[in-house]
């Protein structure tokens, strides 16, 4: 009985635990920073545990709606749709697993990296609030609560970016992020008002029914505004301008976690396109929109990375280009699923597998870059060199992440990109050529970065050593990537395929 209760309520525990421990860390952390550290670790561990519980149930048994204060939604119990609902399906599992892996690595890394900073209880509180917010965005089943979790994520992550407020650049980056997030939140709220005024509901399932009956100009306007906001938060071109500053100036240990909030926004965008608006607008149009944004992101992101000498900004722009792969693949899947073309499922497999991969290898690259900057106090690749002599573990970690982001065989990055190449080629050979060329340029960029930073004679640039928690954080991500590399078929079959089924199910109007 107790186990059934834990399983049934696992989606709410995924949000309640970090919120509770964020409060406890803020209050009790004033007594002792050690207490704050312990509470932060417990909160992070329990959140990951409940993500595991939900994931195991969804992947081995069935998906479900979690409804606060009511029985699960059904046609006979339609009033339950008007309560707060969470969606626990394969797509949510893929999203929360990606978020959790990054959160654990960044959290462990932070224990050592942030130890010399003051006000660590505030840092741990903001970290847990960001974790709750981004998980809430991908789990929620209605638009108003999407707005609530969007705001929680924006405010907490903005404060994380500005945490080192004695650095002018950090405050400037946070201000840019805050302005964009504030405007984005207002636009989301305005869009919600438009949809509620038209249909009188905000639940995804009921809103979908309303749009199917009448898709008006105001509905199209709301769709366009929501697409702009979440594409912007996902750092898609041409709304990517905030990402390099935010990623580059955030405290090093949370840079990958800030970046994974962008993936959270991309998960939301896909959920809305498939589960809500696909009945009102031709899916070919929605898919084409994603394809155009994806192609632009690939080209612009890698082009900007070419001219960067700052290591973190270089990875930030490569991150923008990787978002393009995901949007292009999911766009192809969405555009072709109702046309009878067999490669739609393959495209979605590639896109979602790449999202999982990207969350891990991007975090590994950021943490490796932060380790380099932390030990040398140098950010420019032009001033680095020979670090492999004194930093062998970090050298390996960066190399493995670099090979993964470039899609070099046999890494898992190659496996996901291969699925994208094959499916996109069947849709448009030009898109496949763009994707291949971008991968080649990406390899050239990361190869040059690796050569400049790690190879060559020892220049005695190290000013401090890397602590064990920092190595553990990078090591966890590397182990995950190695598992993905050795068993890509298992990952696709057990995690990615259920996520694809979840999206296709929402496209066809099915409930978990």
Look at residue 510 in the predicted model and tell me its pLDDT: 52
> Which whole number is the average pLDDT over 405-425?
94
Beta carbons within 10 angstroms of residue 303's beta carbon: 14
Question: Which has the closest alpha carbon to 319: 404, 431, 418?
Answer: 404
CA-to-CA distance for 417 and 507, rounded, in angstroms? 24
Query: Would you state the structure tokens that stand for residue 64, as one six-digit string?
Result: 């479900």
Question: Is the per-residue pLDDT at 512 higher than 80?
Answer: no
| Cα(342)–Cα(423) distance, integer angstroms | 9
pLDDT at 487 (0 to 100): 95
Whether 256 contacts 106, CB under 8 Å: yes
Task: Spell out the domain ranges in the chain.
Answer: 2-507
Among 43-47, 336-340, 470-474, which is the least confidently predicted range? 336-340
Mean of the pLDDT values across residues 82-107?
Answer: 91
- The more confidently predicted of residues 163 and 472 is 472
Whether 360 contacts 314, CB under 8 Å: no
The confidence band for 465, taking pLDDT boundaries of 50, 70 and 90, is confident
Residue 508 pLDDT > 70: no
Would you say 350 and 329 are in contact if contact means Cβ atoms under 8 Å apart?
yes
Question: What residues pair up with 87 in beta bridges, in sequence order?
Answer: 65
Across 444-477, b (16+ Cβ under 10 Å) vs e yields ebbeebbebbbeeeeeebbeeebbebbbebbbbb
CA distance between the termini of the chain: 23
Which residues, in sequence order, are CB contacts of 431 under 8 Å at separation 6+? 291, 295, 328, 332, 424, 425
- Provide the β-strand partners of residue 380: 310
CB neighbours of residue 4 within 10 Å: 8
What is the C-alpha separation between 100 and 93, in angstroms, rounded? 10
Q: What is the pLDDT of residue 499?
A: 93
What does the pLDDT look like over 473-506, one tens digit per residue?
A: 999 999 999 999 999 999 999 999 999 998 887 6
Helix, strand or coil, per DSSP, at residue 23: helix
Q: Could you tell me the CA-to-CA distances from 99 to 28, 54, 57, 105, 309 in Å, in that order? A: 26, 14, 18, 10, 29
Decide: helix, strand or coil at residue 378. Answer: coil
* 73 has a pLDDT exceeding 70: no
Average pLDDT of every residue of the chain: 88
pLDDT at residue number 81: 65
Q: Is the pLDDT of residue 74 over 70?
A: no
* Nearest alpha carbon to residue 467 among 113, 223, 179: 113
pLDDT: which is higher, 175 or 319: 319
Tell me what percent of the residues of the chain surpass a pLDDT of 70.
94
The Cα–Cα gap between 229 and 188 comes to 7
Q: Which of 110-119, 199-208, 401-410, 453-462 has the lowest mean pLDDT?
A: 110-119
Q: What does the pLDDT average to over 80-92?
A: 83
Residue pLDDT, tens place only, 110-154: 888 877 777 788 889 999 999 999 999 999 989 999 999 999 999
Other beta carbons within 10 angstroms of residue 114's beta carbon come to 21
Cα–Cα distance for residue pair 465/379, rounded to 1 Å: 17
Please determine, for residue 406, whether its predicted confidence score (pLDDT) is greater than 90: yes
Question: Has residue 509 got a pLDDT over 60?
Answer: no
Give SS3 for 85: strand
% of residues, the chain, pLDDT over 90:
57
pLDDT confidence of residue 69: 67
- Residue 245 above 90 pLDDT? no
Residues shown for the chain = 512
DSSP one-letter string for 382-412: GG---GGGT-HHHHHHHHHHHHHHHT-TTSH
Q: What integer pLDDT is reported at residue 230 of this predicted model?
A: 94
Residues 6+ apart with CB under 8 A from 1: none
Burial (CB < 10 A; 0-12, 13-18, 19+), residue 116, is exposed
Say what the pLDDT of residue 29 is.
Answer: 76
| Residue-wise pLDDT tens digits, 279-338 | 877 788 888 999 999 999 999 999 999 999 889 999 999 999 999 999 999 999 988 876
Residue 463 pLDDT class (50, 70, 90 cuts): confident
pTM score above 0.85: yes
Structure tokens belonging to residue 391: 């930093």
- Residue pair 29/125 in contact (Cβ under 8 Å)? The answer is yes
């Amino acid at each position: 009985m107790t186990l059934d209760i834990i399983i049934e309520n696992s989606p709410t525990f995924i949000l309640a635990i970090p919120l509770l421990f964020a409060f406890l860390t803020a209050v009790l952390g004033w007594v002792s920073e050690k207490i704050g550290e312990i509470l932060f670790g417990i909160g992070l561990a329990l959140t990951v545990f409940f993500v595991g519980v939900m994931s195991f149930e969804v992947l081995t048994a069935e998906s479900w709606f979690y409804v606060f204060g009511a029985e699960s939604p059904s046609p006979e119990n339609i009033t339950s749709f008007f309560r707060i609902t969470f969606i626990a399906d394969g797509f949510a599992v893929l999203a929360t697993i990606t978020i959790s892996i990054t959160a654990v690595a960044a959290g462990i890394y932070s224990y050592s990296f942030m130890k010399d900073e003051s006000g660590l209880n505030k840092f741990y509180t903001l970290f847990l609030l960001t974790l709750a917010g981004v998980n809430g965005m991908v789990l929620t089943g209605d638009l108003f609560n999407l707005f609530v979790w969007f705001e929680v994520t924006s405010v907490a992550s903005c404060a994380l970016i500005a945490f080192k407020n004695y650095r002018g650049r950090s405050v400037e980056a946070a201000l840019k992020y805050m302005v964009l997030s504030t405007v984005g939140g207002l636009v989301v709220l305005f869009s919600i008002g438009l949809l509620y005024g038209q249909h009188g509901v905000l639940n995804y399932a009921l809103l979908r029914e309303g749009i199917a009956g009448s898709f008006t100009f105001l509905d199209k306007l709301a769709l366009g505004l929501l697409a702009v906001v979440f594409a912007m938060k996902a750092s898609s071109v041409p709304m990517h301008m905030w990402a390099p500053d935010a990623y580059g100036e955030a405290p090093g240990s949370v840079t990958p976690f800030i970046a994974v909030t962008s993936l959270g926004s991309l998960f939301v965008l896909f959920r809305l396109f498939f589960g809500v608006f696909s009945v009102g607008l031709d899916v070919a149009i929605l898919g084409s929109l994603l394809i155009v944004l994806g192609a632009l992101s690939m080209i612009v992101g890698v082009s900007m990375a070419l001219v960067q000498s700052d290591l973190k900004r270089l990875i930030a722009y490569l991150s923008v280009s990787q978002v393009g792969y995901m949007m292009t693949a999911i766009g192809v899947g969405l555009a072709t699923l109702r046309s009878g073309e067999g490669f739609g499922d393959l495209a979605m497999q590639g896109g979602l597998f790449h999202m999982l991969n990207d969350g891990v290898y991007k975090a590994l690259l950021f943490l490796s870059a932060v380790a380099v900057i932390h030990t040398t106090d140098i950010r420019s690749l032009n001033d680095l060199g020979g670090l492999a002599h004194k930093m062998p573990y970090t050298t390996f970690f960066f190399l493995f992440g670099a090979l993964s982001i470039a899609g070099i065989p046999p890494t898992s990055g190659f496996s996901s990109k291969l699925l994208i190449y094959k499916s996109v080629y069947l849709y448009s050979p030009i898109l496949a050529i763009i994707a291949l060329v971008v991968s080649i340029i990406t390899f050239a960029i990361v190869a040059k970065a690796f050569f400049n930073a790690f190879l060559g004679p020892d220049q005695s640039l190290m000013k401090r050593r890397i602590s064990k928690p920092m190595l553990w954080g990078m090591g966890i991500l590397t182990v995950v990537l190695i598992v993905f590399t050795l068993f890509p078929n298992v990952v696709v079959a057990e995690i990615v395929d259920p996520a694809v089924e979840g999206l296709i199910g929402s496209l066809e109007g099915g409930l978990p």
